[in-house]
Structure 1
């Protein structure tokens, strides 16, 4: 078993603090004697007992859950450690203080010392055992929560992929009847786009650069149908290219901008997708992803039936994925964009520092 020296240091410091507390209690009952005497005995016995038990447990097969020896060794080790720690620590303290605890004069105090050692040793061994068990349970809870979060994200993504596919097929169907040549070109682009998108979406996160590349593919696909009515700009700083984000996070926002912003206008419009950072609360850096368009705008857009494809499903998915990943720290805002159009903004804490 690999020894965690930082953990050992922490346990040693806790043991020393406990020993000083015990010696303080002893001194409170016997203030006629100098404090350094009970402190010396307490520190010597406690430190030696800790070393025997904490290092001795590595000699036995230990439970993966608690890091404590299995079976009879789990009971025998602290017992032997307390006995040997008491004997060795008492001899060491006797030598240091220049007295003998084993002569007739010290036997009355010896019985009290033995009782204190047994009680204190049992208490601190039990404390370390419970502390280790609690740490393991906390780690398991964190692992289970992480697995549940990942499962929730995969569920949301499996719902989003067919939604994106159906929207694309609906666009293709509209073009087949009016321009078969462009429909063929759009079909070829759609096959290549779906192959790349569905392959990339099998993981819960990918670099922001990949997300922008998928958006570029999708916008080129839409440009086949809309022609000069669709223009776009993708603004991704070099320092943010490797920042991890969930796949298809921005896709619903771009689809929404085209469907409700640009398509209702005869002249179409321009879509801008931008990534940037900003300072958050307590000095924490936030990632800001914004999709804005020069389309019809929130108030000017005609009402759409709730059952129409793409009306609210994609935006709902964005909100749910942000809540699953970041809780209240993940924010999604939809607002009017000056001088016209709509702006959709996603904000959440950066998990890694920009390059």
Structure 2
């Protein structure tokens, strides 16, 4: 194909990745459940204090103060559970971690409550025990208070943790099922979108007409074009069967597509591809990169009388990311959309497949349009 080469040196681009995980959730439903359940437990505890405790005032204040360190303790587990992806651990190990965490934080909760309440009630406690001929010492009393309070705190923290694990586990299963359904719908939409582009009368007429004329001039090349067209259509039809394909497979289809449109555009289409061979085994969503290339040609190169350059580049970004770039010369300002067609659909597919682990950036300099994809680096087993 005219003007086609395999390598080009491109500038490197750095992308900021995931949003920080918040320690304090913004989900109002979370706070309603947490504060509602905590209020119920506090109400029951206060009722027992009023009925049976000899130190009503001190125990009541301790119960109210207890809510803050307890909330910080369970939020700490929530943060670690999500940040360190403990949900992926075997259940036996997760339970052991939860119990160990609850035991350690329960002591801290009990210490925090005692540190806040004892200074205010220490004189009253000494007087109360003195009436009963008991001499009160700070060290033994603190040890006894923390020991008994930490056992209760451990029960409450463990209960919260196991409810949270159960709730989030079932919610994650539902979300994964919903995401899988959305992903299948998005993949089918991408497949139909690609087919509608490839099977539109303009593309088919030009492709078949070029093949017809090529038969008389170069039968071997005409046969290769026909095989390439067949491969493109077969790949599009089978895309719905695979969640991900190798980057090498995607590039083969891109090359067949460029070979076909290159016959029509001739020297107007100048292509440069720079993707190292060691990345060909990386997994990518089918029709994702091909769709960007197709839009670049259709909306960026083809409308220009003098044509333009299409660049496809790939590199490894850090240890666990794959960065892909599609760039094209674009018509003068106001005469065309560059490569922006279908970007909302692309963003939706990335979100469904990878969540926050993938991102895309768009840059429009006026004369050139660039789309950069950053995907998790995955390889077939």
Q: Same fold (TM over 0.5)?
A: yes
Residue in structure 2 matching 1:8, options 86, 91, 96? 96
Residue in structure 2 matching 1:335, options 364, 371, 375? 364
In the superposition, relative to structure 1, how do residues 194 and 349 fare at CA in structure 2: closer, same or farther (>3 Å)?
closer
Residue in structure 1 matching 2:259, options 208, 220, 225? 220
Q: Is the 8 A contact 2:191 2:239 kept in 1?
A: no
* Whole-angstrom distance in 2 between the partners of 1:154 and 1:244: 17
Q: Deviations over 1:232-274 (max 9, x none)?
A: 2221134544443322112222112222333234554432200
Q: Is the 8 A contact 2:316 2:322 kept in 1?
A: yes
The answer for the alignment partner of 1:63 in structure 2 is none
Q: Deviations over 1:298-349 (max 9, x none)?
A: 4268459xxxxx9965334223334544469723314247xx5x33212436
Residue in structure 1 matching 2:347, options 293, 301, 319? 319
* Whole-angstrom distance in 2 between the partners of 1:299 and 1:328: 35
* Whole-angstrom distance in 2 between the partners of 1:259 and 1:21: 64
The answer for the alignment partner of 2:272 in structure 1 is 233
Gaps of 5+ in 1: 44-115, 305-309
**1:201-350 residue pairs with structure 2 within 5 A?**
201-238=240-277, 240-266=279-305, 268-277=307-316, 287-294=322-329, 297-299=330-332, 302=335, 313-324=341-352, 325-326=354-355, 330-336=359-365, 342-348=368-374, 350=376
Q: Is the 8 A contact 1:253 1:291 kept in 2?
A: yes
* Whole-angstrom distance in 1 between the partners of 2:273 and 2:182: 29
The answer for the alignment partner of 2:212 in structure 1 is 180
In the superposition, relative to structure 1, how do residues 12 and 271 fare at CA in structure 2: closer, same or farther (>3 Å)?
closer
The answer for the alignment partner of 1:47 in structure 2 is none
The answer for the alignment partner of 2:40 in structure 1 is none
* Whole-angstrom distance in 1 between the partners of 2:331 and 2:306: 17
Q: Is the 8 A contact 2:300 2:328 kept in 1?
A: yes
Q: Secondary structure at the match of 1:250?
A: helix
Q: Is the 8 A contact 2:339 2:369 kept in 1?
A: no
* Whole-angstrom distance in 2 between the partners of 1:152 and 1:345: 24
* Whole-angstrom distance in 2 between the partners of 1:290 and 1:330: 12
How far has the Cα of 1:128 moved from its partner? 1.6
Residue in structure 2 matching 1:164, options 172, 194, 198? 194
Q: Secondary structure at the match of 1:211?
A: helix
Residue in structure 2 matching 1:35, options 118, 123, 139? 139
Which gives a bigger RCO, structure 1 or 2 (Cα 8 Å, sep 6+)? 2
Q: Secondary structure at the match of 2:178?
A: helix
In the superposition, relative to structure 1, how do residues 10 and 134 fare at CA in structure 2: closer, same or farther (>3 Å)?
closer
* Whole-angstrom distance in 2 between the partners of 1:3 and 1:291: 43
Q: Is the 8 A contact 2:210 2:263 kept in 1?
A: no
How far has the Cα of 1:136 moved from its partner? 1.7
In the superposition, relative to structure 1, how do residues 34 and 163 fare at CA in structure 2: closer, same or farther (>3 Å)?
closer
Q: Is the 8 A contact 1:182 1:225 kept in 2?
A: no
The answer for the alignment partner of 2:168 in structure 1 is 138
In the superposition, relative to structure 1, how do residues 229 and 141 fare at CA in structure 2: closer, same or farther (>3 Å)?
same
Q: Is the 8 A contact 1:332 1:347 kept in 2?
A: yes
* Whole-angstrom distance in 2 between the partners of 1:187 and 1:164: 18
Q: Which has the larger radius of gyration?
A: 1
The answer for the alignment partner of 1:58 in structure 2 is none
Paired residue total: 264
Q: Is the 8 A contact 1:298 1:336 kept in 2?
A: no
